[in-house]
Amino acid sequence: MTGADPLRPAATGFGAKVGSFLFAHLPPVFGLLRWIWPVPHFGATWMLTRYDDVREGFLNDPAFMVPYKGKLDVIMGGVPFFLGMADTPEYRRDVGAMRAIVRPADIKDRLIPEMNKRAEAVVAGANGEIEVVDTLVRQLTFDVLNEYFGVFAPPGVDLRVWATRLFEFQFADQSNDPSLRKEVDQYAPGLLTLIDNLIAERRQSGADIDDVLGRALKAQAASPDPEAAGYSDKQIRSALIGFVAGGLPQPPMIAPQAMEQLLRRPDALAGAQDAARRDDDVALAGYVFEALRFDPLGPAMPRVLVEDVTVAQGTSRAVTIPKGATVYLSFMSAMRDPRRVADPDTFNPKRPSSDYIHFGMGLHQCFGIHINMALVPLMLKPLLRREGLRRKPGPDGHLAKRGPFADRLVVQYRP
Ligand code: HEM
């Protein structure tokens, strides 16, 4: 670790201020849009705001194509990663290869105990005051999951910085910022080489380590045609880069956002604390993912239409969106749509799972969904178990964001 900041300096100026004001006030804007203009568009950019339409977009993946391939190719050195693919045999091969080695049983047998142990140690070691975004959640996410994946950085490399920059480039760089691209042109080849080296070292050492990399290399050795099985060196490398750069920057966004929403609602906070103290992880997850409904990962996921599509066919809002349009599927808005989500402005930790779209839907639904649903609440659990949990007085005690990223939130508790 180099100690560098995983987040780039905050944007300044009038535009940035207007942007963050609008971002903070999206829920009422979406509320109005769902009512008076549910499928707004400006030129070739469209947005779906109602639950049914967002769901329709996610589930119609042949027409609503993910637009990620161009930037993924920059990150992966041109080797395809399944997030950028349509529903092809290659997609199924590569996802299937990873599903076979990222096993559901690992969550219970290995990841949950590891997260519980490490999260408790971090909170116990912090002695009554902790910064939630970096010191707690980012550290836990990168430590626990990189060990599971088998991805380790050599001295001088801070994977938290590399991964977060690549994530920003891929998902949050609408303006194609040249200064970010400069960093990406350094970190992307750096990560390719880092993983290539890990693969070569592991193979050479002959070490039998039961992590995702070790399992992938075993499957490769057992296969007469590793590429056809999804386990060539390059396929393994793309998957690991996708997990590290696409996945790991996200828990440090959402877990602190959930904590902030709980801190705003004393009853909900008390309920979450009670669940944490009773070791009722199902109830605890209910609180955390409900909290996140009020401030989810982001406003929307993008898609590009590969054909003309009539959305909401048979309704009075039916509209034909032309081929080539960019369509934003607003899962933030959908999760607040009273037509499908009962009492959406009420905090209810016992909602049906269908009320939530935190991890997308359909073909590209988050590969790590079950890992995340199990681990994210556990990152906050030791804090929630502590007596006297409260915001640190002053601005540090309120979640600050830098662009779409959670930046800083300091809480105190009785050690
Ligand atoms: C906990 C926070 C996370 C959230 C909220 C989240 C959310 C999402 C969402 C919304 C998508 C769908 C993108 C789209 O439809 O355009 C997605 C896809 C994906 N996520 Fe996550 N994710 C998280 C963490 C992770 C982690 C830790 C991993 C590591 C394994 C991961 C791996 C993936 C992959 C590989 C895909 C692409 C799946 C596919 O194309 O089939 N995610 N995630």
* Burial track 167-204 (b if 16+ CB lie within 10 A, e otherwise): bbbbbebeeebeebeebbeebbebbbebbeebbeebee
Nearest-angstrom CA–CA distance, 297 and 412? 25
Nearest-angstrom CA–CA distance, 27 and 172? 19
Residue with tokens 């963050």: 20
Low-confidence ranges of the chain (pLDDT < 70): 1-3
Nearest-angstrom CA–CA distance, 264 and 270? 11
Q: What's the angle, vertex CA 295, arms to CA 291 and CA 300, rounded to 5?
A: 130
| CA-proximal residue: ligand 1, atom 3 (nearest) | 250
Query: What's the per-residue H, E or C state across 48-72?
Result: ECCHHHHHHHHHCCCCEECCCHHHH
pLDDT of residue 3: 60
Nearest-angstrom CA–CA distance, 218 and 205? 13
Nearest-angstrom CA–CA distance, 187 and 1? 14
Q: Residue ranges per domain, the chain?
A: 14-412
| CA-proximal residue: ligand 1, atom 16 (nearest) | 301
pLDDT of residue 21: 84
Residues shown for the chain: 415
Substitution candidate for ligand 1 out of 366, 375, 379 with most atoms within 8 A of CB? 366
| CA-proximal residue: ligand 1, atom 40 (nearest) | 83
pLDDT of residue 20: 81
| CA-proximal residue: ligand 1, atom 17 (nearest) | 366
pTM higher than 0.85: yes
Burial of 372: CB neighbours in 10 Å, binned 0-12, 13-18, 19+? buried
Quick: pLDDT tens for 244-293: 999 999 999 999 999 999 999 999 999 999 999 999 999 999 999 999 99
**Which atom of ligand 1 is the closest one to the Cα of 360?**
10
**Ligand 1 geometric centre to CA of 317 (Å):** 31
Nearest-angstrom CA–CA distance, 384 and 136? 13
Contact (Cβ atoms closer than 8 angstroms) between residue 320 and residue 327: no
pLDDT of residue 1: 40
Contact (Cβ atoms closer than 8 angstroms) between residue 272 and residue 384: yes
**Start-to-end Cα distance in the chain:** 27
Helices 69-76 and 178-205: crossing angle in degrees, nearest 10, is: 50
Quick: pLDDT tens for 379-415: 999 999 999 999 999 999 999 999 999 999 999 999 8
**Ligand 1 geometric centre to CA of 69 (Å):** 15
**Ligand 1 geometric centre to CA of 167 (Å):** 11
- Integer-rounded Cα Rg, in Å, for the chain is 21
**Ligand 1 geometric centre to CA of 395 (Å):** 31
Give the CATH number of domain 14-412. 1.10.630.10
| CA-proximal residue: ligand 1, atom 39 (nearest) | 364
Q: What's the angle, vertex CA 173, arms to CA 168 and CA 179, rounded to 5?
A: 85
Contact (Cβ atoms closer than 8 angstroms) between residue 41 and residue 305: no
Identify which of 138, 101, 102 has the alpha carbon closest to the alpha carbon of residue 118.
Answer: 138
Nearest-angstrom CA–CA distance, 272 and 275? 5
User: Pocket residues for ligand 1 (CB within 6 Å)?
Assistant: 66, 82-83, 95, 242-243, 246-248, 250-251, 254, 297, 301, 358-360, 364, 366-368, 372, 376
Contact (Cβ atoms closer than 8 angstroms) between residue 385 and residue 276: yes
* φ, ψ (nearest 5 deg) of residue 62: -65, -35
**Which atom of ligand 1 is the closest one to the Cα of 244?**
29
